[in-house]
């Protein structure tokens, strides 16, 4: 399968191109004033590498563009670029492609598709209960049970959001660039903030994992993802896997599952008509 996966987050947009299920490239674009131009250029670059449909009378590109988005304004930018530059339509998860995992939450449509696709991707590999901790603009720690049901999770501020909140809500605390602290006890204000945010994140993750384990009766596998995860991974001995770009893999899994279920349904309809 040839697929361009677009993961639209709150701060960045990731574009991955898969040719015959092999990842050819993955780019992360900042969500600033350059997004439109960078996204346009990246999509054109990916589309130029897409092979043509074999034996077609006219040259037709053999690929689909599938997206997951938590930011509607950027979704509109993506759809406009795809129509203008590629002459194609975007297949949006949750709208054109069904959610890839069964849920046990009150309203599945309120859950960000980024959480659901990473959960589906993790369960597809583990095939058992699994915790997915995504350290991005926000930190989400979610649980999928042993039956593959997304049962919910927690949402808290990411590193940058928390650091900005401290700066904006106080008179003298500075804005800091997040990094692993030198020691647990900060020798200056910036290091004290880094230490507080760092060990708060570690404590939150370990506590939530333990609570989830108590809930299901055993300690499940833990998968860490997201840009902020690389800061804490060294001190997360209880984490089984670190997969930086799990969401784009989840987009591929979601679309493949949709095609499989659609083909199964079409086959059943054909059998019914034959009877």
The CA-based dihedral angle spanning residues 154, 244, 207, 103, taken in that order and rounded to the nearest 10 degrees: 40
Q: For residue 272, indicate whether it is catalytic.
A: no
Query: Containing H/E element for 81?
Result: helix 72-81
Q: What are phi and psi of 23, to 5 degrees?
A: -70, 115
Per annotation, catalytic residue among 21, 48, 114, 272: 114
Instruction: Report helix, strand or coil for 230.
Output: helix
Instruction: Report helix, strand or coil for 156.
Output: strand
Measured CA angle at 75 (ends 21, 242), to 5 deg: 50
138 beta partners: 157
Q: What are the Cα distances from residue 253, in Å, to 49, 68, 100, 118, 273?
A: 21, 12, 8, 10, 30
Catalytic residues: 114
């Amino acid at each position: 399968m040839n697929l361009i996966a677009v993961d639209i987050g709150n701060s960045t947009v990731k574009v991955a191109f898969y040719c015959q299920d092999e990842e050819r490239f993955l780019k992360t674009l900042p969500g600033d004033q350059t997004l439109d131009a960078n996204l346009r250029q990246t999509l054109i670059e990916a589309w130029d590498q897409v092979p043509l449909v074999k034996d077609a009378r006219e040259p037709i590109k053999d690929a689909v563009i599938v997206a997951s988005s938590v930011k509607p304004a950027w979704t509109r930018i993506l759809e406009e670029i795809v129509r203008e530059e590629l002459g194609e339509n975007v297949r949006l998860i949750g709208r054109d492609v069904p959610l890839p995992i069964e849920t046990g939450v009150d309203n599945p449509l309120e859950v960000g598709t980024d959480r659901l696709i990473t959960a589906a991707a993790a369960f597809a590999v583990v095939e058992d209960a699994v915790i997915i901790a995504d350290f991005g603009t926000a930190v989400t720690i979610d649980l999928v049970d042993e039956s593959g049901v997304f049962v919910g999770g927690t949402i808290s501020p990411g590193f940058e959001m928390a650091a900005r909140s401290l700066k904006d809500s106080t008179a003298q605390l500075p804005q800091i660039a997040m990094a692993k602290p030198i020691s647990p006890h900060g020798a200056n204000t910036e290091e004290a903030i880094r230490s507080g945010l760092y060990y708060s994140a570690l404590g939150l993750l370990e506590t939530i994992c333990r609570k989830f384990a108590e809930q299901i009766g055993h300690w499940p596998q833990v998968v860490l993802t997201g840009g902020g995860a690389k800061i804490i991974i060294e001190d997360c001995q209880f984490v089984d896997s670190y997969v930086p770009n799990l969401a784009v893999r989840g987009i591929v899994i979601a679309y493949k599952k949709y095609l499989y279920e659609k083909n199964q349904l079409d086959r059943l309809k054909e059998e019914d008509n034959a009877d």
